Structure 1
Amino acid sequence: MLRITCPWCGERDYSEFRYGSEVKTRPAPGTGDLKTWHDHVFLFDNPKGPTREYWQHVLGCRQWLVLERDTATNAVGKAVPARDAASKSGAGR
């Protein structure tokens, strides 16, 4: 069973959370390049191994977090508030 540690609520079952997307940098707002936006919204890397993902605690505090997870083993690592992770990496939600 996958368990996620919410920074606000503590360890919870994954069924309380909703997957958002992989963490990636958004294209600049107002750019007219439709292919860039199409690729950002509809194409995913789907990596095998360690990755960083956005998750929302929908049945708890409703906060967004960035979760480190290994997609090959489903091992869960550290979870941090999304606003903290975005400000450090430049990736915005």
Structure 2
Amino acid sequence: MKLLTCPMNGPRNIDEFQSFGPVRARPDPNATADRDWSRHLFRAENRKGIVIEWWRHVPSNYFFLAERDLVSNEVIRTFDVSELPERA
């Protein structure tokens, strides 16, 4: 059984979680064409390396972030959204 540590609920079975993909910078809505918005919403980067992703603990509906290595699938750490550094 694979465990994922929820920052609020502690270690839980991975089946209790839902992934929502990587954290991405939001494009400027005033300077972005529809074509750019559709690319932002529907195109995945599909890169190797470490990424910060949105996750949700389904029973408690708690959203948090996980830093994960996409090559080894190892979760490096999980943390609350308030700990995310400001993005440019």
TM tier, smaller: 0.7 to 0.9
For 1:10 and 1:18, the matched residues in 2 are separated by: 16
**1:81 matched residue in structure 2:** 80
Larger radius of gyration: 2
Structure with the bigger percentage of helix: 1
Deviation per residue, 1:45-87 (Å, 9 max, x gap) = 122221111111112x2111110111111111111112431xx
Structure 1, 8-17 or 28-37: larger mean CA deviation: 28-37
Gaps of at least 5 residues in structure 1 are none
Give, as a single letter, the amino acid of the residue that structure 1 aligns with 2:50.
P
RMSD: 1.8
Asked if residue 90 in structure 1 is aligned to residue 74 in structure 2, the reply is no
1:39 aligns with 2:39: yes
Aligned length: 88
Structure 1 residue ranges (4+ consecutive) displaced by more than 6 angstroms after TM superposition? none
Q: TM-score, normalised by structure 2?
A: 0.84
TM-score after normalising by structure 1: 0.80
- Of Structure 1 and Structure 2, the greater strand share is in 2
The alignment status of 1:57 with 2:54, answered yes or no, reads no
The percent of aligned pairs where both chains have the same amino acid is: 32
With a CA cutoff of 8 Å and minimum separation of 6, indicate the structure with the bigger relative contact order.
Answer: 1
